C-alpha cells in the first residue's frame, strides 16, 4: 500500500504516519517529490485497510499497490529516478551510451576500443572480465587482469566502467574496479548475488533474464532495492522466442512498459537483442524511439578476431554513425516532450 500525503503536509504529520506503520510491524520507504511525499509500506501488507490511514492528519489517500514490486514501482516514486555513475547521469532526461567490447581480450584491444568509443560519444566503457559463457570450453575472460586493464582505460580516457560480476564472492573485487556492476541475463535470478550487490554502494545494470517476464525482472530489481541500493538501471537485452534467425528477440514493448511500471532508468542492448551486427543500428534507433534512457552496445576494432560475440559487434566507425542517429532521434523526442509541457 502507499500513503499519499497532501501537498505541503507537515513534517510532523509525515512522521506520525511513518510511526504508525512501523508500530504495525512494517518497513516504510519515503519518496519525497516536488509536490508531495509518498510513504510506501514495505512487506506483506494485504491485511492493512487503506481507510485506517486515510483518517490520519495530512493524508490525502491510501491505495493498495497491485504490483508485487514496491520500491521499484512508479506508484511509490512517481518521478523518474536519476543517478550518477561516477559523474555520468543515468535516467530522466539524459541519454546515456555505454559501449565497448563484449570481453576484455588484451590491453591493446581494450585501449584501442576505449579511445574509439569515447571519440564517438560514449559516456561509459563496457567490457567483460568475468564472462558467463554457455560452453565451459569457450573463453572465460581475463579475470583480475581484465579488471586491471579496465582500470587503466578508465584512468586514461576518463570513462567510467561497467562490467559483469557473476558471483557474490567476487562482488568486493569487481566493485574495486567497476563504477557500475552488471548483473548478466543468466544471473538475473541469482538471489544471493542480487542481495550482495544490493549491499554495495555501486550503481547496478540489471539485465533481463532471457526467459524472464517483466514482473520477474522487476522483482529481481526489488531484491537490490530492498537491500538498500537505490541506483538500479534495467537493461532489456532480448528474450528467447521461437525465431532462430536472430540470437534473441529484443522486446521493444518492454521499453515503454518499464517507463510506465517503474521509475528506474531503462537501457536497451541491441547487440545481444539481435546477435547480428547489421541489425544493431536499426534496433538501437527503435530502442531510443520507444523511450529508453540509453544503450549498451558491443564494439570491437576487428570483430572477426573477437573472442566472444564478434558477430554482433560493431566496428568503431559504424558505432559512431549509430550514436549520431540515436542522438538525433533523442533530441527530437526531447523537443516534443518539452513542447507538450
By the rule CB under 6 A, 185 interacts with ligand PEP: yes
DSSP state of 180: E
Which lies closer to ligand PEP via its Cβ, residue 273 or residue 316?
273
Which lies closer to Mn ion via its Cβ, residue 70 or residue 272?
272
Q: Cell numbers for 206, please give them.
A: 540489471
CA distance 297 to 276: 12
Q: State the pairing for strand pair 83-85/88-90.
A: antiparallel
By the rule CB under 6 A, 40 interacts with ligand PEP: no
Task: Identify the residue among 77, 202, 237, 247 touching ligand PEP (CB under 6 A).
Answer: 237
| From ligand PEP, Mn ion, none, interface partner of 68 (C-beta below 5 to 8 A by class) | none
By the rule CB under 6 A, 91 interacts with ligand PEP: no
User: Which residues, including other chains, have CB under 8 Å from residue 248's CB and lie 6 or more apart?
Assistant: 210, 237, 238, 239, 240, 241, 272, 273, 274, 275
Closest-by-Cβ residue to ligand PEP is 184
Q: Which of 209, 260, 199 is nearest to 235 (CA)?
A: 209
Binding segment (CB under 6 A) for ligand PEP, from list 39-47, 136-144, 148-156, 180-188: 180-188
By the rule CB under 6 A, 102 interacts with ligand PEP: yes
By the rule CB under 6 A, 132 interacts with ligand PEP: yes
By the rule CB under 6 A, 184 interacts with ligand PEP: yes
Task: Tell me how far the alpha carbon of residue 193 is from its chain's centroid.
Answer: 16
Pattern of binders to Mn ion over 300-319, x per CB under 5 A?
---------x----------
Give DSSP secondary structure letters for 52-88.
HHHTSTTEEEEE---SS--TTBTTT--SPP-EEETTE
Q: How far is the CB of 281 from ligand PEP (least distance, A)?
A: 18
**Radius of gyration over every alpha carbon of the chain, rounded to an integer in angstroms:** 21
Residues 86-105 interacting with Mn ion (rule: CB under 5 A): 102
By the rule CB under 6 A, 254 interacts with ligand PEP: no
CA distance 126 to 212: 23
Q: Which residues bind Mn ion (CB under 5 A)?
A: 102, 309
Amino acid at each position: 500500500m502507499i500513503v499519499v500525503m497532501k501537498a505541503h503536509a507537515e513534517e510532523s504529520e509525515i512522521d506520525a504516519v511513518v510511526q504508525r506503520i512501523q508500530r504495525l510491524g512494517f518497513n516504510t520507504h519515503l519518496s519525497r517529490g516536488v509536490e508531495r511525499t509518498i510513504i510506501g509500506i514495505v512487506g506483506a501488507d494485504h491485511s492493512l485497510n487503506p481507510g485506517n490511514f486515510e483518517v490520519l492528519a495530512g493524508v490525502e489517500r491510501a491505495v493498495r499497490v497491485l504490483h508485487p514490486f514496491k520500491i521499484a514501482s512508479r506508484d511509490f516514486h512517481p518521478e523518474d529516478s536519476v543517478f550518477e555513475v561516477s559523474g555520468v547521469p543515468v535516467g530522466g532526461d539524459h541519454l546515456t551510451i555505454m559501449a565497448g567490447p563484449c570481453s576484455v581480450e588484451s590491453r591493446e584491444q581494450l585501449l584501442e576500443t576505449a579511445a574509439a568509443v569515447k571519440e564517438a560519444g560514449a559516456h561509459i566503457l563496457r567490457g567483460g572480465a568475468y564472462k558467463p559463457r554457455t560452453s565451459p570450453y569457450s573463453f572465460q575472460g581475463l579475470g583480475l587482469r581484465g579488471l586491471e586493464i579496465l582500470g587503466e582505460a578508465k584512468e586514461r580516457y576518463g570513462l567510467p566502467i561497467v562490467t559483469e560480476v557473476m558471483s557474490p564472492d567476487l562482488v568486493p573485487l569487481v566493485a574495486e574496479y567497476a563504477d557500475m556492476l552488471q548483473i548478466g541475463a543468466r544471473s538475473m535470478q541469482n538471489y544471493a548475488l542480487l542481495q550482495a550487490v544490493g549491499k554495495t554502494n555501486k550503481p547496478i545494470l540489471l539485465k533481463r533474464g532471457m526467459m524472464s517476464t517483466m514482473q520477474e525482472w522487476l522483482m529481481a530489481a526489488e531484491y537490490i532495492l530492498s537491500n538498500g541500493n537505490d541506483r538500479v538501471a534495467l537493461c532489456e537485452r532480448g528474450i528467447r522466442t521461437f525465431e532462430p534467425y536472430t540470437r534473441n528477440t529484443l522486446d521493444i514493448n518492454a521499453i515503454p512498459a518499464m517507463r510506465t511500471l517503474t521509475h528506474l532508468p531503462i537501457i536497451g542492448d541491441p547487440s545481444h537483442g539481435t546477435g547480428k551486427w547489421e541489425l544493431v543500428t536499426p534496433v538501437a534507433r527503435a530502442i531510443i524511439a520507444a523511450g529508453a534512457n540509453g544503450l549498451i552496445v558491443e564494439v570491437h576494432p576487428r570483430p572477426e578476431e573477437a573472442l566472444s560475440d564478434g558477430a554482433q559487434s560493431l566496428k568503431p566507425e559504424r558505432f559512431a554513425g549509430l550514436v549520431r542517429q540515436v542522438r538525433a532521434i533523442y533530441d527530437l523526442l526531447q523537443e516534443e516532450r518539452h513542447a507538450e509541457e
